[in-house]
């Protein structure tokens, strides 16, 4: 089946002159167009010419035609977000598209555990460009797949606002701006000192956040300097901390119907559903406290049937058959899932990663009085992130045939491959941690070439230096410890005693139950550390100003050049390089560099202004020539236009192209040979899914209905540079209308914007994921004859039925999204104060892709984790020094029955979820130099919906999906004091 949780989608669109802040306004943000008009009419308002995200041409911010979504820090604080990462990953920005956040600590993700990234339009973080003050934020993170900016590095305390452009912008900003641009803008000038403290508390405990910050600065006659330091800490949240994650079951129903969960395996010892089953994909179960043998005759455990088994658990009361053991699976039994698969320690696993960050930021400028009143400016950003995750480890310990460690009653066992007995041991919890040091320094010079033309030259260098540590069994030490002889004193010693080898324990009931000698575990289970270094250097220069005059205004232009060089050097632990991590991925170093030279230009052409049927008619055009060392040269362009026939309506449209060379990790990822657990094999117990495409496909390979894979699934990964990976290209069209009818003040002000977007990516670079590839292939009605994902899976090994998956970076033939953005804004005076209401809805019409050019385009719109609709509502009432806010976030219902050719009325799987709503309340009081904000998010303590196992990665019984709140009801308070 399919897993769409996405471990797997500049703008010169001058589309809106009078509603720049309206077109994609978040449900909790920014001034309205009406407020803008009021500010324009006020004599006290000082209109400043600035560069708005979406263009390199300076315009008055109050009549910019770029469709920019503006989010102020004050509004994010009122909404209860504790970080810029939180607000950027919210539904208001992402329209429900899955994002990588702290809930993905136990999964292999780009950027490594603990990283937080954002991608617009569901097109992924590598296709969304992150800027800070108009300059790129370089990637940061751990492991070889570092290719997107980590939102953890941002200086939250110094951020003034965020501008979000959901429109392609490669011709203005270069590669990566395929789906849009996010520009984080810091406070330009600060005078005085401000202390700030934030704290959250959760209903169920765990996951609390706290942030303490100081901001200080001074502005003089010829310069300014300001900076901040902040400390952020988030407590981890475990599966045990929430009731809805404490018991993961299959959550299916019987073929004869009945309620959901009716088909769950019942534990004969408790009479309750068996938590953490081993069936299905995305289950959290492991096989523990049992042993594997060849088929042997013995006594059935309670709930098991038959007399022949190949899975056993200790039972000292058994005196016949296999003495000391009872049969729990395999052989002639008709119930293969009664083995002990639950260990309470699995609940110690991380639901939300714990994290701690320190961030320092310093910026300043000095007026030189020469070179056109030039200002020399600089920015310094430093960040350290330390994050950690708790996992759970199963140990499959193979005792070779003839080993003196095997007791006599099991001496005849032949599990296969030279193994006499395989012990499935619940080893317990393990730890992973990351320490990421990020630095970004910028120095520049900007000034005037003349009274109308200006210039800006900047140099920037970024460096991410990260260590990542995990605990692992070492294959060579396990092998040495199992090769033993008697020591003459009733115990055993290693045959090879080098490096302090400690003999493995004798196979006993206690060992099977996880009671292992500390000296042995300290020898075979050790921390291993790798290092990831990512550097990026950028130099750019730009010039802008009027070129010549037309009857209705000046033709303005912006021109410039840029050079960038990036380098990645990921060196895994030597044990990983040498394939010495037992039952874990092995990786070779990822090393590569790339550089690019670019020149760009942009024109803004005012055709008509202030005439009948044309309050404004403006065209814009931009172009960029790009030359990569890795992929050669190409060009991109964009054209756009704005027409305002009368003051209350505007039309806009733009069309552009993008060109994105693959990220360094996509090109140079070191050859990685890993594996997935044998439990991920889609054909395990396929007989329990009769009549499905999965059942037909598994049967076609000659597998028995009760087939159980005994071999891990091999996964071979590598960068795509050597296999002909190409650059990806895309086309982007947007068009919209803005209505701002004029009503009497008693009615209030109403604004409506409707925007259509269409992004088509060709030769898109992506890696599907080994588990996804297996599910997609084995659940495909056409199976191997249909090509597609099955092309990346080798035929089963004829000896042991093992699977091998090739999951390298490839060029996806097509990745396409289409949809509509709706924004409705209403403001009016109400009683002693004023009311502002904003509703935003995104309606996807298509979210489709295909892997190969001759495959069918599959539309995932509306499927699980890929909502077709999402929306937000924001109500803010302001009175004197008070603000009161109500917020609503909505994700539409989703279902995947159609894709899997299942009948929702009769399917044994629950593959649909209802609409999901989150409510929030907050209030703010502002004193002269202090303020306090307090409120609650997830007011009703909504838990995520549930689905069946078998297709999607799950947390508990809920989808692994960033659109759902895993923490629950959260109370927050923010205190600020200025001096």
Return the biggest CA–CA distance within the chain: 106
Q: What pLDDT does 63 receive?
A: 39
Q: What pLDDT does 479 receive?
A: 96
Q: What pLDDT does 284 receive?
A: 46
Question: Measured between alpha carbons, how far is 722 from 745 in angstroms, rounded to an integer?
Answer: 66
Q: In which element (H, E) is residue 40 found?
A: helix 33-41
Give alpha helix (H) positions in 53-97: 73-78, 84-88, 91-94
Residue 706 has pLDDT above 70, yes or no: yes
Percentages helix, strand, coil for the chain (3-state, rounded to 5) are 15, 45, 40
Band the pLDDT of 475: cuts 50, 70, 90: very high
- What number of other Cβ atoms are within 10 A of residue 551's Cβ? 9
Residue 416 has pLDDT above 70, yes or no: yes
Q: What pLDDT does 963 receive?
A: 94
- Give percent above pLDDT 70 in the chain: 91
Q: What pLDDT does 669 receive?
A: 87
**Strand 810-830, strand 858-859: pairing:** unpaired
Residue 37 has pLDDT above 80, yes or no: no
Q: What pLDDT does 23 receive?
A: 33
For residue 404, give the DSSP letter: T
The torsion angle over the Cα atoms of residues 146, 713, 340 and 310, rounded to 10 degrees, is -170
Please check whether residue 144 is in contact with residue 568, taking contact to mean a CB–CB distance below 8 angstroms: yes
Q: What pLDDT does 338 receive?
A: 73
Residue 943 has pLDDT above 70, yes or no: yes
**Strand 375-400, strand 869-879: pairing:** unpaired
806-824 pLDDT, tens digit per residue, is 887 878 778 999 999 999 9
- What number of other Cβ atoms are within 10 A of residue 543's Cβ? 17
Q: What pLDDT does 679 receive?
A: 78
Mean pLDDT score of the chain, rounded to an integer?
Answer: 87
Q: What pLDDT does 808 receive?
A: 79
149-172 pLDDT, tens digit per residue, is 999 999 999 999 999 888 888 888
Q: What pLDDT does 283 receive?
A: 42
Which tops the pLDDT comparison, 925 or 785? 925
Question: Measured between alpha carbons, how far is 304 from 307 in angstroms, rounded to an integer?
Answer: 9
Q: What pLDDT does 372 receive?
A: 81
Q: What pLDDT does 66 receive?
A: 57
For residue 793, give the DSSP letter: B
Question: Measured between alpha carbons, how far is 181 from 582 in angstroms, rounded to an integer?
Answer: 42
Residue 454 has pLDDT above 60, yes or no: yes
Q: What pLDDT does 515 receive?
A: 95
In this predicted structure, which of 188-202, 527-541, 660-674, 941-955 has the lowest mean pLDDT?
660-674
Band the pLDDT of 190: cuts 50, 70, 90: very high
Q: In which element (H, E) is residue 307 found?
A: none
- State which of 108-112, 367-371, 420-424, 769-773 shows the largest mean pLDDT: 420-424
Which residue reads 């501008």 in tokens? Answer: 163
Q: CA-CA distances (angstroms) from residue 870 to 235, 889, 960?
A: 29, 8, 18
53-81 pLDDT, tens digit per residue, is 666 665 443 334 556 788 889 989 999 99
875-928 pLDDT, tens digit per residue, is 999 999 999 999 999 999 999 999 989 999 999 999 999 999 999 999 999 999
User: Which parts of 474-519 are beta strand (E)?
Assistant: 484-486, 492-494
In this prediction, residues 100-123 reach a mean pLDDT of 89
Q: Which of 910, 966, 925 is nearest to 943 (CA)?
A: 966
Residue 45 has pLDDT above 50, yes or no: no
Q: What pLDDT does 8 receive?
A: 30
Q: In which element (H, E) is residue 571 found?
A: strand 553-571
Half-sphere exposure of 647 (CA within 13 A, CB side): 6
572-583 pLDDT, tens digit per residue, is 999 999 989 998
- What number of other Cβ atoms are within 10 A of residue 607's Cβ? 17
Q: What pLDDT does 31 receive?
A: 33
Q: What pLDDT does 278 receive?
A: 59
Tell me the CA end-to-end span of the chain in Å, nearest whole number.
Answer: 59
Please check whether residue 175 is in contact with residue 145, taking contact to mean a CB–CB distance below 8 angstroms: no
In this prediction, residues 792-800 reach a mean pLDDT of 89
For residue 699, give the DSSP letter: H
340-358 pLDDT, tens digit per residue, is 778 889 999 999 999 999 9
Residue 853 has pLDDT above 60, yes or no: yes
- Give percent above pLDDT 90 in the chain: 66
Residue 801 has pLDDT above 70, yes or no: yes
Band the pLDDT of 34: cuts 50, 70, 90: very low
In this prediction, residues 870-878 reach a mean pLDDT of 96
Token pair listed for 554: 């000046």
What are the backbone angles phi and psi of residue 313, rounded to the nearest 5°?
Answer: -130, 150
In this predicted structure, which of 219-228, 458-467, 656-665 has the lowest mean pLDDT?
656-665
In this predicted structure, which of 85-94, 329-338, 673-682, 830-839 has the lowest mean pLDDT?
329-338
In this prediction, residues 183-196 reach a mean pLDDT of 94
| CA dihedral for 888, 892, 893, 899, sign (positive or negative) | negative
Which tops the pLDDT comparison, 303 or 651? 651
Question: Measured between alpha carbons, how far is 63 from 885 in angstroms, rounded to an integer?
Answer: 28
Q: What pLDDT does 672 receive?
A: 76
Q: What pLDDT does 57 receive?
A: 65
Which tops the pLDDT comparison, 870 or 676? 870
Q: What pLDDT does 43 receive?
A: 29
Residue 558 has pLDDT above 50, yes or no: yes
Q: What pLDDT does 854 receive?
A: 73
What are the backbone angles phi and psi of residue 499, rounded to the nearest 5°?
Answer: 50, 30
């Amino acid at each position: 089946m399919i897993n769409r949780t996405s471990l797997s989608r500049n703008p010169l669109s001058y589309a809106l002159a009078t509603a720049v802040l309206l077109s994609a306004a978040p449900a909790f943000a920014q001034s309205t167009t009406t407020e803008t008009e009021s500010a324009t009419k006020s004599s006290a308002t000082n209109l400043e010419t600035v560069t708005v995200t979406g263009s390199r041409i300076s315009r008055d911010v109050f009549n910019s035609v770029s469709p920019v979504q503006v989010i102020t820090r004050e509004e994010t604080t009122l909404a209860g977000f504790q970080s810029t990462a939180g607000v950027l990953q919210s539904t208001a920005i992402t329209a429900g598209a899955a994002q990588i956040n702290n809930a993905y600590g136990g999964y292999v993700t780009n950027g490594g555990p603990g990283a937080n990234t954002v991608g617009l339009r569901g097109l992924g973080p590598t296709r969304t460009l992150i800027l800070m003050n108009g300059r790129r934020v370089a990637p940061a993170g751990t492991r070889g797949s570092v290719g997107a900016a980590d939102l953890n590095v941002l200086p939250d305390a110094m951020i003034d606002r965020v501008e979000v452009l959901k429109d392609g912008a490669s011709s203005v900003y270069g590669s990566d701006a395929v789906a849009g641009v996010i520009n984080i803008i810091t406070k330009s000038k600060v005078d005085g000192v401000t202390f700030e403290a934030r704290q959250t508390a959760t209903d169920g405990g765990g996951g609390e956040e706290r942030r303490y910050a100081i901001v200080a600065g001074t502005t003089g006659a010829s310069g300014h300097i300001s900076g901040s330091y902040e400390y952020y800490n988030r407590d981890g949240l475990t599966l045990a901390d929430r009731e809805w994650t404490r018991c993961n079951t299959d959550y299916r129903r019987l073929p004869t119907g009945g309620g959901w969960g009716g088909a769950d395996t019942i534990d004969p010892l408790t009479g309750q559903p068996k938590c953490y089953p081993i069936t299905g994909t995305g289950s959290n179960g492991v096989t523990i406290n049992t042993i594997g043998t060849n088929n042997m005759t013995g006594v059935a455990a309670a709930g098991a049937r038959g007399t022949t088994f190949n899975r056993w658990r200790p039972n000292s009361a058994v005196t016949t058959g296999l003495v000391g053991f009872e049969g729990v699976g395999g052989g002639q039994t008709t119930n293969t899932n009664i083995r002990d698969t639950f260990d309470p320690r699995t609940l110690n696993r991380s639901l939300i990663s714990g994290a701690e960050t320190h961030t320092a930021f310093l910026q300043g400028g000095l007026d030189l009085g020469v070179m056109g009143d030039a200002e020399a400016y600089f920015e310094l950003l430093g960040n350290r992130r330390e994050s950690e995750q708790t996992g759970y480890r199963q140990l499959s310990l193979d005792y070779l045939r003839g080993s003196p460690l095997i007791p006599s009653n099991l001496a005849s066992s032949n599990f296969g491959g030279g193994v006499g007995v395989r012990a499935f041991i619940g080893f317990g919890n393990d730890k992973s941690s990351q320490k990421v040091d990020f630095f970004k320094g910028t120095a520049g010079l900007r000034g005037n070439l003349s009274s109308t033309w200006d210039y800006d030259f900047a140099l920037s260098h970024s460096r991410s230096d990260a260590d990542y540590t995990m605990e692992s069994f070492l294959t060579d030490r396990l092998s040495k410890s199992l090769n033993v002889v008697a020591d003459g004193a009733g115990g055993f010693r290693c045959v090879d005693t080098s490096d302090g080898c400690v003999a493995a324990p004798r196979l006993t009931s206690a060992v099977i139950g996880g009671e292992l000698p500390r000296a042995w575990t300290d020898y075979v289970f050790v921390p291993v550390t790798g290092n990831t270094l990512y550097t990026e250097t950028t130099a750019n220069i730009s010039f802008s100003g009027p070129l010549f005059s037309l009857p209705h205004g000046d033709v303005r232009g912006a021109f410039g050049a840029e050079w960038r060089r990036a380098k990645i050097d990921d060196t895994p632990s030597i044990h990983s390089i040498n394939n010495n991590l037992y039952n874990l991925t092995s990786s070779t170093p990822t090393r590569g560099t790339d550089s690019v030279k670019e020149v760009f230009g942009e024109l803004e052409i005012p055709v008509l202004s202030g005439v009948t049927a044309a309050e404004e008619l403006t065209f814009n055009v931009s172009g960029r020539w790009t030359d990569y060392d890795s992929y050669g040269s190409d060009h991109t362009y964009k054209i756009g236009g704005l027409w305002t026939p009368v003051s209350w309506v505007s039309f806009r449209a733009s069309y552009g192209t993008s060109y994105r060379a693959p990220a360094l990790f996509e090109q140079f990822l070191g050859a990685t040979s890993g594996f997935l657990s044998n439990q991920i094999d889609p054909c395990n117990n396929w007989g329990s899914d009769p009549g499905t495409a999965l059942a037909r496909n598994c049967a076609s390979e000659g597998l028995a209905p009760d087939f159980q894979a005994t071999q891990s699934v091999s996964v071979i990964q590598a960068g795509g540079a050597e296999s002909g990976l190409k650059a990806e290209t895309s086309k982007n069209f947007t068009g919209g209308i803005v209505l701002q009818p004029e009503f009497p003040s008693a009615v209030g002000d109403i604004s409506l914007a409707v925007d259509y977007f269409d992004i088509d990516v060709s030769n898109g670079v992506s890696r599907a994921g080994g588990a996804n590839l297996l599910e997609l292939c084995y659940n495909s009605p056409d199976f191997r004859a249909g090509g597609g994902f099955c092309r990346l899976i080798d035929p089963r090994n004829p000896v042991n039925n093992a699977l091998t998956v090739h999951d390298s970076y490839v060029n996806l033939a097509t990745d396409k999204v289409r949809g509509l953005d709706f924004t409705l804004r209403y403001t009016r005076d109400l009683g002693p104060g004023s009311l502002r209401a904003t509703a935003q809805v995104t309606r996807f019409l298509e979210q489709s892709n295909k892997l190969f050019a001759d495959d069918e385009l599959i539309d995932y719109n509306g499927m699980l984790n890929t909502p077709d609709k999402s929306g937000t509502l924001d109500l803010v009432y302001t009175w004197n020094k008070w603000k009161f806010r109500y917020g609503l976030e909505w994700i539409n219902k989703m279902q995947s029955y159609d894709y899997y050719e299942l009948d929702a009325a009769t399917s044994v799987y629950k593959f649909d979820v209802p609409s999901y709503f989150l409510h929030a309340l907050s209030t703010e009081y502002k004193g002269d130099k202090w303020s306090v904000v307090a409120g609650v998010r997830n007011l009703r303590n909504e838990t995520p919906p549930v689905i069946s196992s078998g297709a999607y990665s799950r947390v508990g019984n809920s989808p692994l999906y960033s659109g759902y709140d895993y923490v629950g009801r959260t109370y927050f308070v923010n205190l600020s004091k200025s001096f």
